[in-house]
Each structure stands twice: as C-alpha cells, then as structure tokens.
Structure 1
Amino acid sequence: MSQVIAPPAPSAVPAARRRRSLPWPLLLGCAAQVLLRLWLARARTGPVADPDETGYLAAARWLAGGPGADLSHNTFYQAGYPLLLAPAHWFSQSPATVYAAVIAINALAGAALFPLGYAALRRFGLGRNAALPLSFAAALLPATTFFGLFALTDAVLPALLLGWLLLLDRFVRTGRAVDGAAASLVAVYAYFTHSRGEVVLAVHVLALLATRRRAMWAGLVAVAGGYLAASAVNDALRHALYPSGTRDLAALLHDRLLSVSGQAWTISGMFGQVWYLVVGTWGLAGIGLAATFAALARKDARLMAGILLTTTFGIAYASEAALPDEHRVGNFVYGRYLACLALAYVLIALAVLFRATARDALRAAAAGGLVAAGTGAVVLVYAGERLRTHQFIGFDFPETSFLTQDRTDFRLAVATFAAYGLLIGLLAARWLGGARTVATALAAVNAAALVHIAGDGERVRPVPPLPAASERGGVVIDYSVHWTGRTKLIDPVWWTRIGWIDARHQSAPHGVCTVVVPRGPSGAALDRTWPHRPAGWLPREGGYGVGRWVAWYDPRCGTS
C-alpha cells in the first residue's frame, strides 16, 4: 500500500525512542475505541439482524461443543467468525451474557483498526504526530463501526482486509517468505470467514504469482494448507447445521453472468456499491479511489494499486451477481459489502491530503466527485422508480440516513450533496489547520453519525423466553411456524437443538417438553392452536408479527 502514495519519508525521531514511547498512545487509543464501541452497543441484548446474526451465533455454539440448529435452506454462515465467538460459550450458557461477550469481541476487533491504520499512514510517509490522531478518527467510520454492534462477520472483516493489505505490501517490498506466508494466512482466514474472502484469496494468489519472487512459494504453500483446513471446518459446519442443504444461488449466478439483463443488474449494482462507498465515507473514499487509479500509471505502485482495485470491484461485482431480487432498495445501492475496504481508501485519502500538493489534492477530490456523480447517475437510470417503490430498510442505509436525516426513505442526490458538503469542510480544515484539526473534524462527523445511527439507546427487547420447564427437555417446532418465529427461537433455546413436528397430526414425541405451534388469527382461542396436545399441557404466547407462536409445555417435565 505504501507505493500507492509515495515511499515513506525518513523520520527525524530515533527508532529506539519511537519504540519506547509509542505503545502507550496506541494502547490508550485502543482502550478508548473499545469503550466507545461498547457504549454505542449498550442497548444490544440479542440478535435482531436475522437470520444472519442467529446463524453465526448458532455456529459458534456448535463449535464450542453445544447443541446446533437446523439452518437448512439459509445462506451458509461460514466458520471463521463463529470460531472467534465460540469461547464465550465456555463461560456462560445465558444467551444474553454470550451476546454481551460477542459485542466485546467485536469491539476489540474494531479497535484493532486504530493501530493498523496508524501503521498504514506511517507507511504512507506521514509523521507520528499526524498519523496518530488521523488513524484514530478514521477507525471510527460508521463503515467500520456500525456492524460491530451486531453479531455479524462484518465486525472483523475490515481489520482482516487492512491487515492483509499491509502484510502483502510488505512482502511486495521486502520479498521475505515470512511476510508472504503471513499475508497468505490472513487471506485464507478471510476466505474462511465470508464469501467475499473468496475474492480476496483469488486476488492474493494472483498477486503472489505476479511478484515472480522465489519466496512466493512459501505463501502459496500457506494458501494451500490453510485452504484445506478452512474447507474441512466449513464442510463439517455445513453438514451439522444445514442437513437439508444451504441456499443455492448457483442458478441465479449463472443466469446473471450469461444474460444481458443479468449483466445490467450486476454492473448497475456494482456502481451502486461504489457510490455508497464514496458517499458513506463523506467523499474521502472518492479521493482514495482517484489516487489508487492514478497509481496504476506508476511502475512502483502498479501492483498494490491493482490488487486493491481488483479486490474492490471483484467483491462488488460478484456479490451483486449473486444477490437475489428481494424488491428492496438495497438491491441497487448497498454499502455493506464494500465496507470492509472503506478504511483503506480513507487512509489513502488522508495521506493524499497531507503528502500531495494542494492542487493534486483538489484534483483527487474533484475526481472522486465525478466518481460519485457518475455511479449515482447509473443507479438512477437503471433503478429509476424502483428506488421509491421498493422496500426501504434502514439497516441497509446507516450513513445515508444520517446524511439525509431521514430513516424512512432513500434520497440519492441529497445524500451525495451532503457528503460532499462534509468533504469541503474537511478540506477546509486541512488548509486552515493541521492533522489534529482534520482528525478532530473527522472524529466529530463520525461520532455524530454513529450516535444518529445507533439511536437513542433504548434497550432491544429480547424474545420472550420459553417456560422454565422447557429447559428440562426437548423442544420441537411445527413446520408451519413462520421462518422469523423459528429463527428467533434458536438463540434463546440454548440447551437443545430444536426439532420438527407436524402438530396438525402429531402429539408430543417422547422426551419433548415443549411444542411450538403457530399462533393463528389474532383473537383465536389458544385451545385451537394444537388440538392434539396431551392432557395437562399449558400454553404461552410469544413472537412478533407473522412470527407469533404458542409454546405448549408440560409443567411436570423434570419433576419426580
């Protein structure tokens, strides 16, 4: 990454002195990052972004030796992120306690972006006094912070990808086998964590081959070994938690790649993701993109610039090609998939502001504006009326909801102008002050956005628990319970794997203490929800909306 801007400038501070004094600011900054992220997530008590959160939590519970779940026909939630969460289950069986531990793990992973960002800015040639505040502020971007408020793999992907880029950049510069092997292991872990990691791993292998160094073989061996190990664990998880198979998007991907309409969908959605990347970073990623494209013209920077751009557009293209049409605005404009690379581009932009001339910095900002305008125009032309008629889900648009101060609608033009208004303010802070002024302004914008996005701190209500008697026996659920109701019960039912029943024709199987059936029409008598219940069983209602259910339980379970 260092070559994207310029070779690092020599520092006037002796290396020994830097090594003695540097850890404390980084440690204190990391602690502040952790505390801020925990405070933002103070209202989180359980999963709400389902089925994703529940999928990762169920996988973590199974990897820790606990009961699994039947997630058949859902997207496959890979084992890399759940493996980090699994130790939380060794210390508590309480779902709320485990979830709090997950948020703490996310906060630690997010805080790691501060020292990683500092290392990147130092490699770009910025001095310590500039790199410290700028990296601290940049690490608080909503793109790198918001998803850490949930049990989602996006909480760790930004740190993984920035670490991979730094290690690969070092290998390109030094040619040391240990650097190539380390970068390979991080790339494999990204593959182990999410399907976006498949793009990362493919680009990584091509990058190793492009270096034409003898030491690349150490990296390729690490890739092969790590790939086999990761695939084995993922296969075991798939077999245990998806007995009837995962959600198959192969046919959709095939149609998209081989049809004109499919290519139009994919390319437009790819541009929509790039638009969100630029606007969701207050225009800074636009400067980073412009600088990275410009670096392709320089021989010393071409490889790393090509790696970053190929990864970016590869992720955007592949993810959009496999995205089902769910009739939501997020099908056309979506920021989550490229959020893992947002910090890399923002760091490049900050380096441009402090290493390039004022004229070059303004040119990069103007080029970034053209990127935002051009990609936004493509989205408007292709999606058209669907941006207003399709479902708007606020979770898909955290940054733009802040920019437009509207949580209920998507306004592309307003968000674009607001983002570039903020960028003009940041540019003014650069020319009127130094790095601390820019860092203060950027941190203030990020903090305001995060407070707006996180809401007022009202605690999320957990799913009503099943009766205490249920914890002494098996639990089964009727096939006709809506998927939202089934999914919401997986995490609270921590003591057993939920089975299946056709309650219309079956009574309770042996060893089962709780049978969950659909609630039925509002106001209907509870006695009619399960005619075949055994004598003495009692009902309890739960769930929300279409996922409402009635849990029939035997109060005598576990009693002598």
Structure 2
Amino acid sequence: MSTRTPADGASSSAAVTRPPVAPRGGDADRARPGRRRWALLFGLGWLAQVAVRLWLGAEQTVPVATPDESGYLFAARVLTGGPDADMSFGTVYRGGYPLLLLPALLLGDDPVGVYRGALLTNALVSAAMLPLAYLLLRRLGVRRRWSYVFAHVTAVLPCVLFYSEFVLTDAILPVVLAGWLLLVHTWLNVPRLTGGRAPGRMHAAGAGASLLVAYAYACHSRGAILLVAHAMLLLAAPACRWRRWRDVLPAAVAGAAGTAAGALLNRSLLPHMYPHGDNDLAGNVVRRLTTGDGWGWMLSLGTGQVWYQSVATGGVAAVGLAAVAFAVLRPSAASAVPGTAGRTRALALAVLVVVAGIAFATSAALPVEYRIGNYVYGRYLACVTPVLFAVGVAVLLRAPQRALLGAVAAAASLTVAAACVVQWYAGDLLSRYTYTAYDFPETAFLTWDWTAFHLWHATLAGLVLLLAAVVFARPRRHGPPVLAAVLAVVAVGMSVTATDRIARPLVRDATAHTDLRKSIDLREKRSIAVDWNVPWPIRLSHYYWAWWSEASVFDSRWTPPPQSADVIVLSWPENVPAAASWPHGAPPGWHVVDSRRTLTGDWAAWTR
C-alpha cells in the first residue's frame, strides 16, 4: 500500500497522509461543498448497496444453506435465553456472528420474521464494503473518482453480495477482514508526534484491529488464521523498530481480552447445542497432517480454492495475489514511499498467510463428503477475495505496461496450473460426485450450466475475462469506466442468476418439504423431537419452523420416541402408511398430523 506524502526515517507513513492545512476564508467555503458532495455520494451509495441486497434476498424465508444457517440461528436463539437445539456430532457454530442477530430475534415474532431481520442485519453490514474498498483502493494509489467507482464493483462481487442473502458468517467476514487490514496498516504507519509520543490514532487503530481479529475468531475457525497473521505483525513491529514495545501493548491487550471473551462465548454454547459432542474437525486436521494421503488431500483441495477465486473474479483476484507475492519478494519496488518497504512486505506476507492458511487449513478439516465442492470451492476464501480483487484493480489501472503484463502472465499461469492440479487429483470425480449448485454461483454463470461442473470451460471463461480486463483498462481516458462496467455486469449477473436458479428454488423446495405451520399450531408446542434417521436438512428445518420449541434428537432404531415431547417427527418407511411409522405401534392418544415424501427424505409428524 502506498500514499502520496513521504515521511521521515523509521516513522515514515504509508498509511495516511498528514492532514492538510485547513483552508481559510473563501477557500474553506469552497471546500465544504466538495466534502458534502462526497459524504452524500457515500451515503447514497451505501443505501443503494443495502437496497440491492434486500432486493436479492426478498424471497429468502427459510435456511437452505444447512446446517450452517440453522446453526447460527439456533446459537443466536440460545444467546437470548431461548430453548436448546441438539446439533450433536455436527460442526460447531461459534457465537460471534449470532451476537449480531440478537436484535432480529428480539424483534421478530415468528421464524420468517427472525430470518428476514437477520438478512437486514447482513445487508447493513455487508454494504460497508463500499467505503472500505474505497479506502483500500485509495491507499493503493488509485484516483479518488475511480476508487469510488471500483469500490461499488468490489461491493457487488458474488463473494460479498450473494452470501449476504444467507444467515452465514460469509455475509460479514469480508467486511471484517478488509477493516482489519486497513486498521493494522494505519497502526503500522501513523507517524509519531513531536517528542516521540504515540498519537491516539495509533492506539485506536491497533486496538481496533485487534478487536476485529478477536471478533473474527469468535465468528469462525477461519478467524484463527487471521489471529495468527495479526500476532505476526504485532511481534514484527517492535522487532523491526517500526513501533515501540509500549505501542504494541494496547493492541496486544485488546486482542488477548477479545479472544478470551470470544472463547468463553463459544464454550458457553456447547452444552446447549452439542451435548453429545461435535464432528471433531480438529481430528481431521491432525490425521491429514500426519499422513502422506492427508497432505495430498490438503494441498490439492487448497489449490482448488485458489483456482476458484481466480476464475470467479475473471482473473483479477489472481492478478492481486501475484502483486501481493511480488510485494513480498521485492517490497521496495512495491512501495511508493521511502522507508516503508519493510512494512509493505510484512502486510503483503500477512495477506499471503491468510490466503494460504485458510485454503489449506479448511481443506485439512473437511471430511470426505463425496461432492464436487470438496475439490473446488469458493466460500472459504471469499472473505479475502475482495482485498485481492482491489489489489488486482489497482494493478490494472496503475501498473506500467511491463509490470502489468508480468502480473497478468503470472495470474494466468497460476490459474492454469491450479486447474491442472484439480484435474490431476480429482479426475473423473468431478463428474461422478454430487454436484451441488449452491457451491458454484460464479462458475455456473461462466459456463451457463447450473447442473454440472466444467473445470476447463470455466478456466477458459475466466482467462477470457482477464484478457478483456487488460484490454479495457489500458486506454487512459475511457478505459476505467469500461472496465468497471464490464466487471460490474459480470458480478451482478452472477449474483442475480445464482439467486434465481439456486437460492429461490432451494427456498421453495425447503418450504414445500418441511413447513408444518398449516398442520399444527407450533406456538403451543414447547418441545419437538426428531428421529435421527430423518435426513439432517429436513431435521434442521423442523427445528426452524418450531422456533419456540426446545429441539432434541433420538434414534428410533434403538430408542423409543420420547413421549415427553409435544411433537415427534419420525422417519417414514416405504410401502407403509404414515400411521405405521411409529416403531411397534403408537401409544394411545398419539396421531399423525402431517407427513411428506420428498426427494431428500420421508417423514411423519406426530402429536397428542
């Protein structure tokens, strides 16, 4: 990252310029309309981004990205003092993101109202990518006008926009990561005041960055990677004499306190949601790190995630990744301010640690799910993709011809090499394993096929977009607006088609297959027990509709249905009536109130 104002010696600033001298008299009067105009632009732009998100999510009324959405909703319910939801032997969902959902739970009076309130929260937070992307582009040296335009493009990338339609940490993590990077950049580079005193802005930025990292850790295991990168920077700053140890102390204390609070919050959820244990993803990591096959799985799947981010952004994120790597290798060439080369290298290295750490750690933790998304997946790296995209845009707009061609060649080579790794490792599994459309909102658009995955067609489409971006970006006068228009049309097209062809059909199916509200007044039922043999997407949907009820699970093969529950949902065997679904016959007073046969699984609901 660079700036326009050099500083002196070891305290030079690559983060912010010194505030200009305030204009006097008539100059001040003329400056105020300019500031008001920019404030109005950002206010209207943020509202427009919020409106786009609410429009796309207008028909989302039920969790479909299961079990993730359900897990966060139930965690939020527990935090309000609501009933438990047994999700034993599943992935642990942390409490940081559910804290943001508490107003939706407190104000909503039914499950759909709560869900819509959560999406409103997502929209308000996710739209903050606009000012953050603007600040990031400005620090990368992009002109103010084009920083604003491309900040809008960054904010409508599917990795930011599409995931805001679901109750997922992916709706907020891109904003958290971008905010952290900007704050830690400020903390590293704010110049000291006369007399060697640290300004309050430095301490505020350091503490803010640490708290954001701690919050990311409280939200998702990916936050642990961010925590490692942040700790590296805190240790490097005094060691390299960029900051004094006493300047590090406030940031370190804030990070430690925030992380401890997040750990306590997450631990408090375990007995309410995982009374019989979780699915031991940490054990998967240990097994993968201690076997040759595990290393092959981890490295190949991580490479597939990098491939996806490149193709999903038309190669622009790959250009950004190449530029970040170049800044690590040759920081003096990447920094426009003398004396900041080391800090540039440290920040670039931290970004690489985040990318590699998330890609390979999440791959190591993944169980074998027999789906194509195991091998090529975009969600885990979605939180860092907007940052890489912004860096790529800065390269396209500002880099000299030779440097640009080098970055583009590196990005194209990385994309093709990653595709080769995916093809070599996954092979025919890319056509044999289960295709889940939700895993591929961007590549489905690029190949115009929402029923199958096409590795090389998507790769070619991504490279064509990259070539077009290079061509459109070169004309100095008309290039930037054309480039912004092309990238925006592609990004919005991806999210609109994904919403229409993926999200909304999932909502319609989930509602048709599980909604019990017309069969029984769920408000009067204080507990619901669901048979373990009912497929988990349906089981969790029943928990969702019975919002006010304590949810538990039992295995009807070995355990009689718990008659203490108000509603019992049993697996419905084939070739028998629903009334025969109760093992060994229903006790007196129990009767079937609803039953469905679906592609996901068959069930019958009983009550007294």
Bin for the TM-score computed over the shorter chain = over 0.9
Greater mean deviation of Cα atoms: 527-536 or 355-364: 527-536
Inter-partner Cα distance in structure 2 for 1:173 and 1:508: 62
Alignment match, 2:205: 179
Residue 294 (structure 1) aligned with residue 326 (structure 2): yes
Contact 2:597 2:603 (C-alpha < 8 Å) held by counterparts: yes
1:116-127 equivalent positions in 2, closer than 5 A: 116-127=132-143
**Aligned AA for 1:495?**
W
Name the Cα RMSD after superposition. 2.4
Other structure's SS at 1:491 match: helix
Deviations 1:376-425 (A, max 9, x none): 11111122222222222111111111111111222111111111211222
Inter-partner Cα distance in structure 2 for 1:479 and 1:411: 35
Alignment match, 2:161: 145
Runs of 4+ in 1 over 4 A off after TM superposition: 6-18, 456-459, 500-508
Residue 460 (structure 1) aligned with residue 503 (structure 2): no
Residue 378 (structure 1) aligned with residue 441 (structure 2): no
Alignment match, 2:482: 437
Residue 330 (structure 1) aligned with residue 373 (structure 2): yes
Once the 2 structures are TM-superposed, how far is the Cα of residue 436 of structure 1 from its aligned partner? 2.4
Alignment match, 1:516: 569
Alignment match, 1:557: none
Greater mean deviation of Cα atoms: 224-233 or 463-472: 463-472
**Aligned AA for 1:107?**
A
Other structure's SS at 1:476 match: strand
1:535-546 equivalent positions in 2, closer than 5 A: 535=589, 537-542=591-596, 544-546=598-600
Alignment match, 1:39: 55
Deviations 1:422-470 (A, max 9, x none): 1222222222414322222211111222222112556635232154344
Contact 2:57 2:165 (C-alpha < 8 Å) held by counterparts: yes
Inter-partner Cα distance in structure 1 for 2:300 and 2:62: 35
Alignment match, 2:496: 451
Once the 2 structures are TM-superposed, how far is the Cα of residue 289 of structure 1 from its aligned partner? 1.0
- The alpha-carbon distance between structure 1 residues 14 and 329, as it changes in their structure 2 partners (threshold 3 A), is farther
Residue 207 (structure 1) aligned with residue 250 (structure 2): no
Other structure's SS at 2:516 match: coil
Once the 2 structures are TM-superposed, how far is the Cα of residue 355 of structure 1 from its aligned partner? 1.9
Once the 2 structures are TM-superposed, how far is the Cα of residue 538 of structure 1 from its aligned partner? 4.2
Inter-partner Cα distance in structure 2 for 1:172 and 1:384: 45
Contact 1:507 1:532 (C-alpha < 8 Å) held by counterparts: no
Alignment match, 1:217: 249
Contact 2:207 2:254 (C-alpha < 8 Å) held by counterparts: yes
Contact 2:69 2:166 (C-alpha < 8 Å) held by counterparts: yes
Deviations 1:333-378 (A, max 9, x none): 1111111111101101111122221332222111110110111111
Inter-partner Cα distance in structure 1 for 2:291 and 2:535: 34
Inter-partner Cα distance in structure 1 for 2:159 and 2:145: 25
Contact 1:283 1:423 (C-alpha < 8 Å) held by counterparts: yes
- The alpha-carbon distance between structure 1 residues 380 and 508, as it changes in their structure 2 partners (threshold 3 A), is closer
Alignment match, 2:434: 391
Contact 1:45 1:100 (C-alpha < 8 Å) held by counterparts: yes
Alignment match, 2:306: 274
Alignment match, 1:558: none
Contact 2:142 2:397 (C-alpha < 8 Å) held by counterparts: yes
Alignment match, 1:156: 172
Q: Share of identical aligned residues, percent?
A: 38
- The alpha-carbon distance between structure 1 residues 479 and 40, as it changes in their structure 2 partners (threshold 3 A), is closer
Once the 2 structures are TM-superposed, how far is the Cα of residue 195 of structure 1 from its aligned partner? 0.4
Inter-partner Cα distance in structure 2 for 1:479 and 1:367: 50
Once the 2 structures are TM-superposed, how far is the Cα of residue 2 of structure 1 from its aligned partner? 3.9
Q: 103, 108, 126: which is aligned to 1:87?
A: 103
Inter-partner Cα distance in structure 1 for 2:304 and 2:377: 6
Q: 349, 354, 358: which is aligned to 1:315?
A: 358
Once the 2 structures are TM-superposed, how far is the Cα of residue 194 of structure 1 from its aligned partner? 0.4
Deviations 1:102-142 (A, max 9, x none): 11111112211011001111111222211111110121111
Contact 1:114 1:136 (C-alpha < 8 Å) held by counterparts: yes
Contact 2:528 2:543 (C-alpha < 8 Å) held by counterparts: no
Alignment match, 1:551: 605
Alignment match, 2:551: 498
**Aligned AA for 2:489?**
A
Inter-partner Cα distance in structure 1 for 2:16 and 2:227: 31
Once the 2 structures are TM-superposed, how far is the Cα of residue 50 of structure 1 from its aligned partner? 0.9
Inter-partner Cα distance in structure 1 for 2:67 and 2:175: 24
Q: 264, 287, 294: which is aligned to 2:296?
A: 264
Once the 2 structures are TM-superposed, how far is the Cα of residue 239 of structure 1 from its aligned partner? 2.1
Residue 188 (structure 1) aligned with residue 188 (structure 2): no
Inter-partner Cα distance in structure 2 for 1:249 and 1:327: 17
TM-score after normalising by structure 2:
0.86
Alignment match, 1:240: 272
Contact 2:397 2:474 (C-alpha < 8 Å) held by counterparts: no
Other structure's SS at 1:377 match: helix
Contact 2:16 2:186 (C-alpha < 8 Å) held by counterparts: no
Contact 1:485 1:544 (C-alpha < 8 Å) held by counterparts: no
Contact 2:15 2:185 (C-alpha < 8 Å) held by counterparts: no
Alignment match, 1:130: 146
**Aligned AA for 1:489?**
H
**Aligned AA for 2:215?**
Y
Contact 1:78 1:192 (C-alpha < 8 Å) held by counterparts: yes
Once the 2 structures are TM-superposed, how far is the Cα of residue 177 of structure 1 from its aligned partner? 2.1
Other structure's SS at 2:566 match: strand
Greater mean deviation of Cα atoms: 204-213 or 380-389: 380-389
